[in-house]
Structure 1
Amino acid sequence: MPPHGPRRVGQTAAVNAYLWITVVSLAAWAWLLLGQGFFWRTDVRLPPRREPEAWPSVCVVVPARDEAAVLPDSLPSLLAQDYPGRAEVFLVDDGSTDGTGELARGLSRRHGGLPLTVDSPGEPPAGWTGKLWAVRYGIGLARARGPEYLLLTDADIAHAPDSLRELVAAAEAGGFDVVSQMARLRVASLWERLVVPAFVYFFAQLYPFRWIGRKGARTAAAAGGCVLLRAGMAEKARIPDAIRHAVIDDVALARAVKGVGGRVWLGLADRVDSVRPYPGLGDLWRMVSRSAYAQLRHNPLLLLGTVAGLALVYLVPPAAVVVGAAGGDAATALAGAVAWVVMAGTYLPMLRYYGQPLWLAPLLPFTAFLYLLMTVDSAVQHYRGRGAAWKGRTYSRPDAVPDEG
C-alpha cells in the first residue's frame, strides 16, 4: 500500500461528502426557485378591485398594550380613512401602564375623523393570549353595530387614507372572507436592513402567497397587522375563541377560516406600514425568538429538522465555496457558488421592495445564521419557562392550558 494511502482515501471520501452535500443544497435551491409557489416574487399585491354599489359597514378593532410611543403615528391614519360607507374604530386597551387609552382619546379629539371607542377588557383568563382577549372584547363591542366586515389591525400600523376602501373593494370583487396585507416594516437602522427584509422573505418561503389565495389550496396564513375579515365568517369560524391560545394568531386565524370553507388572500402592502422601530439586534432578536419555537409547535424534532434545513439551504453554499477553493475542489466550489447565486437572486426582489441596496443579497447566509440562532434561543427560553414572552406576559404552550370547549 502506498504511503499515506488510508489518509488519501479518507481525504477523497471527505471531498466526495462535501460535494454531495453541496449538490443536495443546489437541488434544494432549484426546487425553491421553481417549485415553491415563486415565493421570492414580490408582485402579489391587492387583487383586482371593484367598487361595490353599496359600501358595506366596517368596524376596526385595534388591540393595544403600552403603545403610547407609536400611537400618534398610527391611530390618526385610521381615523382619517376616506371610506364611503359606515365605519368606526374600537381601540381595546389591554392593561396598558403608559396611558395608551387616554392618549387615544386625546388623538381622536385632536384629529377627528371616524368615531372612536376606547375600552378595556381587564386581564385575560387562563388559556387566552392578551392580544386575542382584547380582540374578542373589541369584536363583541363591534357586533352591537352589526358590521359586515371587521378590520383587525395592530396599534403600530399606519394606513394610507384609501387603505380601508381598497381592502373592502378587493374582498367584495374577489369573494374573499379574509384579505390580509403584510405591512411594510420599518427599515432604517443597519440591523433592520439586514434582518427585516429577510423576515418577510422567510415568511413567504414558508407560506407562498400565490398558494394561499388559490381556491382549494391548503396553505393558509395572514399577517396580523392588517386583516380584513367578514363578520359572518368570524362567527362561523369562531374567531377568536377557536384560536384563543395561539401565539402566532394570524396564521391560526387563516387556518380556522379555511377550515370552515372560507377563502383567504394574503399579499404585500403598498398602503400599510409598520411604524414600530427595531433599531438594535436585541429588539429584532426578541421579535423573532418570542414566537419561533411556537411556530414549530414546541416540537424538538421539528427544531432539529429546521436547524438542519437552514444549515443545508443557507449555510452550505458559502461554506462549499470556501472549502472547495481552499482544497482545490473545483466541483464543490462551483456547485456552492451556483447555489449561492440562486439564493442571492431570489432575495433581490425583496430588497428592491424595501428599497435596500442590492449588495445585501449575498449576505443572506449571515442573516439566516442569525435566524437559526434566534430559533434555538426561542426553544431554550421556552424550556426555561420564559418562552413566548411579550410585554410582561409569558404564555404557556397550547396543551398546557385548559380547554373550555
Structure 2
Amino acid sequence: MSRFGPLPWGRLRQVSAIVWSAAGSLAAWWWLLFCQGFFWRTDVRLPPSRDPGTWPSVCVVVPARDEAAVLPASLPSLLAQDYPGRAEVFLVDDGSTDGTGELARELADRHGGLPLTVGSPGEPPAGWTGKLWAVRHGMGLARARDPEYLLLTDADIAHAPDSLRRLVAAARTGGFDIVSQMARLRVASLWERLVVPAFVYFFAQLYPFRRIGREGTRTAAAAGGCVLLRAEAAERARVPDAIRGAVIDDVALARAVKRSGGRVWLGLADRVDSVRPYPRLRDLWRMVSRSAYAQLRHSPVLLAGTVAGLVLVYLVPPVAVVAGAVTGSGAAVVLGAAAWLVMSGTYVPMLRYCRQPLWLAPLLPFTAFLYLLMTVDSAVQHRRGRGAAWKGRTYARPDAVPDEG
C-alpha cells in the first residue's frame, strides 16, 4: 500500500519488479565489493624492490604513427632516463604523414641522452595490426643488441627519470617476466573528468590487479603504455607473432606470456603519465568503441550479457530511487540508494588517484550509460564491416583477444 491508498495489481507488479531489481543490484555490489579482487582499491603500485648487482641491458621500443603533436612532451623523457645499465631507444615510425620520424631525430639531437634509432617497417601485411607490426620491427632492431629486457611504451607516454630503473628493479626482485604500469591518464576537460577515471576503474573491475600478480591464477592483463618485458619470455611466448591480429594487444600480450609459464604484474603508476588529450566526447568515444566489441570476442551473446550487466549494476540503483519515490515504495528507495552508495564508495579511491573532485562519484551511472552506448556502437560498426579504426587504418574484422573467457 502506498500513502495514496491501495495500489492496482499491475502497478504492484511494477513496484515488485523495481524492488527485486534493486535488491539484485545491491547483491551484485556486495559481491563486487568483496569477491572481485578488491578491484576498487588503488594501492597496487610497484612492489618493493632492490637494485640488482649488475643492471641488465634494456631496449625501449616505441611504435609511433602521426605522433608529432605529443612527441615533444614524451620522447625527451625516455632519452633522459637515469639508468645505470646499457639502454637505448628504438622509435618505429609507422607510416606517419606528420613528420614523426624527423621530429624524433631532431629531439634526440637537441636533448641528447640515450641513443635513438628511428626505423620504419612499411605497411603491415594482412592479419597484422599496425601497432603490433611496428612493435615486431622494433623488437627485430633491438635483437641485434641482445637485451635482457624490452620496454614497450607508447609515443604519448612520459616517464619520470627513474622510471626504467624502478621497473627493472621490480622485475628482477619479484622474478616477473612482465612489469606493467597503467599510466596516469590526462584528466583536464569536462568529458575527461567524466569518462577517463571510469576507464581505469572498469578495466580494474575486469582485470583485478591483485589477481594478475598472484601465481596460479588465470587472470592476466597489461597496460600497453608501459610494459617491461623480459626478452626470453617474449621468445618463449612467440610475441608479437602469436598475437599479431589482436586489437587489445596489451591484454593479449600478458595472456600469451602467462600462458607460456611467465609471471605478470600490473599496477597503477605514480610517475608514468599519458600526455595525449581527449578534450571532446567524440575523441573518448572513438578510443573506447574501437576495441569494445573485440573485448567481447565479437559475440552477440556476450554483448547482450554485458548490456544486461551494466543495466543491473549501474543503472538500476538510480532508477530504483526515482521510481520508488514516485510510487511510494520505500523498499525500492532504500535498496536503490544502498546500491548507489556502495557504487559511489568504490569509485572514490579512483577519483582520488586521478586527482578529481569526489562529487563525480554519484555520476558514475551516467558514465556507465555512456560506456554502454559506446559498446553497442562498437558492435554496430563491426556488423557494418567497419571494425576497429585508428589513425587512418580500419580493420574489417579484427581478431579478438585469444581465449578471453
TM-score range, shorter chain: over 0.9
Cα distance in 2, alignment partners of residues 371 and 13 from structure 1: 30
Matched, 1:61 2:65: no
User: What is the match of residue 187 of structure 1?
Assistant: 187
Alpha-carbon contact 1:298-1:397 (below 8 Å) kept: no
Alpha-carbon contact 2:245-2:399 (below 8 Å) kept: no
> How far did residue 46 of structure 1 move?
0.3
User: What is the match of residue 303 of structure 2?
Assistant: 303
Letter in 2 for 1:233: A
Summarize the Cα distance change of 1:68–1:399 in structure 2 as closer, same or farther, 3 Å threshold. closer
> How far did residue 14 of structure 1 move?
1.6
Over residues 148-182 of structure 1, what are the superposed CA-to-partner deviations in whole Å (9 max), with x where a residue is unaligned?
00000000000000000000000000000000000
Cα distance in 1, alignment partners of residues 157 and 244 from structure 2: 22
User: What is the match of residue 360 of structure 2?
Assistant: 360
Matched, 1:129 2:109: no
Cα distance in 2, alignment partners of residues 131 and 172 from structure 1: 27
Letter in 2 for 1:197: P
- Secondary structure class of the residue paired with 2:326: helix
Cα distance in 2, alignment partners of residues 398 and 134 from structure 1: 17
Cα distance in 2, alignment partners of residues 336 and 241 from structure 1: 48
Percent of aligned pairs sharing the same letter: 83
User: What is the match of residue 92 of structure 1?
Assistant: 92
> How far did residue 7 of structure 1 move?
7.7
- The 5-angstrom pairing of residues 188-337 of structure 1 reads 188-337=188-337
Matched, 1:390 2:390: yes
Cα distance in 2, alignment partners of residues 143 and 384 from structure 1: 40
Alpha-carbon contact 2:294-2:399 (below 8 Å) kept: no
User: What is the match of residue 114 of structure 2?
Assistant: 114
- Structure 1 stretches of 4+ moved >4 Å: none
Cα distance in 1, alignment partners of residues 236 and 169 from structure 2: 22
Summarize the Cα distance change of 1:171–1:399 in structure 2 as closer, same or farther, 3 Å threshold. closer
- Secondary structure class of the residue paired with 1:294: helix
> How far did residue 10 of structure 1 move?
1.7
Letter in 2 for 1:335: L
Alpha-carbon contact 2:62-2:153 (below 8 Å) kept: yes
Over residues 69-99 of structure 1, what are the superposed CA-to-partner deviations in whole Å (9 max), with x where a residue is unaligned?
0000000000000000000000000000000
- Secondary structure class of the residue paired with 2:183: strand
Cα distance in 2, alignment partners of residues 98 and 77 from structure 1: 21
User: What is the match of residue 403 of structure 1?
Assistant: none
> How far did residue 12 of structure 1 move?
1.6
> How far did residue 44 of structure 1 move?
0.2
Cα distance in 1, alignment partners of residues 397 and 312 from structure 2: 29
Over residues 31-84 of structure 1, what are the superposed CA-to-partner deviations in whole Å (9 max), with x where a residue is unaligned?
011110000000000011110000000000000000000000000000000000
Over residues 201-236 of structure 1, what are the superposed CA-to-partner deviations in whole Å (9 max), with x where a residue is unaligned?
000000000000001110000000000000000000
| Root mean square deviation, CA, Å | 1.3
Alpha-carbon contact 1:58-1:87 (below 8 Å) kept: yes
5+ residue gaps in structure 2? 1-5, 401-405
> How far did residue 397 of structure 1 move?
2.5
- Secondary structure class of the residue paired with 1:158: strand
Cα distance in 2, alignment partners of residues 399 and 284 from structure 1: 22
Letter in 2 for 1:86: R
> How far did residue 370 of structure 1 move?
0.3
- Secondary structure class of the residue paired with 1:121: coil
Alpha-carbon contact 2:247-2:399 (below 8 Å) kept: no
5+ residue gaps in structure 1? 1-5, 401-405
Cα distance in 2, alignment partners of residues 153 and 348 from structure 1: 28
Over residues 275-329 of structure 1, what are the superposed CA-to-partner deviations in whole Å (9 max), with x where a residue is unaligned?
0000000000000000000100111111111011000000000000000011000
Tell which deviates more after alignment, 134-143 or 380-389. 380-389
- Secondary structure class of the residue paired with 1:183: strand
How many corresponding residue pairs? 396
- TM value normalised by structure 1: 0.96
> How far did residue 396 of structure 1 move?
3.2
